[in-house]
Amino acid sequence: MGVPRKPSEPPSREAAEFLERAMEQYGKATYNFAYRLTGNEADARDLTQEAFIRVYRAWRSFVPGTSFLSWIYRIVTNLHRDELRRQKGRFQEEIPEDNAPQEYGGSKPLAVDPVEDYMAEQLGGPLAKALSLLSTEQRQVIVLADIEEYSYQEIADIMGCSIGTVRSRLHRARALLRRLVLREQQQAQS
């Protein structure tokens, strides 16, 4: 950002086609996944953008016939986790500790993007709010299990953890959401 200059390298035609098709077919799903993980548009945009850049750079390593979406979700999940770790580490080094425990979430913006169509979207509705009550890992697992409908094994592959961990995070997250959703249903009926 600003000071070092990188040499220019035009993309090969194959790589460019791969990237274009990827964004065309999976851009929306990836962006929505990133949004549900991060809870805000700006971070979601940064995460999505960075993920597609990775996809472009690693395009040769994608095995045709396997799930592209699983691949990019794994990239997004890893990027998100790396960001959180990076922030956590730096912050603890440099800010004097106080006594209150804190949980740091949210990603540092990774790249740049303008904003679109804000007025059309007075959204960020109930789902976003419900997900905001969960920890990052719980959010990941709920989105992958209940919204993206992956199997526990697939989720374990994407998140890079064991099935047992997937299971326990999912149970905890669903327990938290259950009370919320059920109360809301009752209110809607009354």
Partner 1 sequence: MQRFAMAFAIATAASFPEVTLAAPTPAPADSNALVRAALEAPRHVSYVGQIQTIRWGMRNANATIQRVEHLAPSSTRRTFLAPEALYGEYDITLGTTTTKIDPKQHRAMISENPSSDNAITMNTNIVLLAANYRAVVGPVEIVAGRPATTVSLVNRFTGERMMRLWIDNSTKVVLAKEAYHQDGSLAWRSRFDEIRFTGEIPSGVFATAIPQGFQEVEGRRFGDMSDDLQRTLDEAGFKAVNPRYLPDGFKIIGAENSSFRGLRNLHLLYSDGIRTLSLFENNADSEPDFGGVKPSTTHFEGHDAEYVKDGPTTLLTWREHGLAFALIGDLDLKKLTAIAISVIP
Partner 2 sequence: MHYNADILDDYLHGALGPERDATIHAHLEGCAPCRTLFDEAATVRDWLRNAARAEEREFPSMIRARVWEAVRNAPQPASFADRLRALWRPMIAVPVAAAVAVFVYAGVPGIHGNAQPAGVAATYLLEEHAALASDNPLADRGLIVPASVVDSQQTLDTGDTGPSSSDK
Site residues, partner 2 (CB under 8 A): 1-3, 5-11, 19, 23, 27-28, 30-32, 35-36, 45, 48-49, 52-53, 56, 111-114, 116-117, 121, 123-128, 130, 142, 145-147, 151-152, 167, 170-171, 174-175, 177-178, 181-182, 184-185
Rg (CA), the chain: 19
Give the number of C-alpha atoms closer than 13 A to the C-alpha of residue 74, restricted to the C-beta side.
Answer: 14
Looking at beta carbons only, is 92 or 162 nearer to partner 1?
92
Residue with Cβ nearer partner 2 (36 or 80): 36
In contact, 46 and 109? CB cutoff 8 Å: yes
User: Smallest distance from the beta carbon of 9 to partner 2, in angstroms?
Assistant: 6
**Binding map of partner 1 across residues 70-99, x = CB under 8 A, - = no contact:** -----------------x--xx--xxx-x-
Q: How many CB atoms lie within 10 A of CB 87?
A: 15
Residue 36's binding partner among partner 2, partner 1, none (Cβ under 5 to 8 angstroms by kind) is: partner 2
How far apart are the C-alpha atoms of 190 and 156, rounded to whole Å?
Answer: 40
Distance CA 188, CA 190 (A): 6
Q: Could you give phi then psi for residue 101, rounded to 5 degrees?
A: -70, 145
The entry of partner 2, partner 1, none that residue 69 binds, CB within 5 to 8 Å by partner kind: none
| Piece in contact with partner 1 (CB under 8 A), picked from 13-21, 122-130, 145-153, 157-165 | 122-130
Q: Which does 133 bind (CB under 5 to 8 A by kind): partner 1, partner 2, none?
A: partner 1
- Determine the Cα–Cα distance for residues 3 and 99; give it in Å rounded to an integer: 39
116 binds partner 1 (CB under 8 A): yes
Which ranges constitute the DSSP H helices of the chain?
13-38, 41-57, 68-94, 126-132, 136-142, 152-159, 163-189
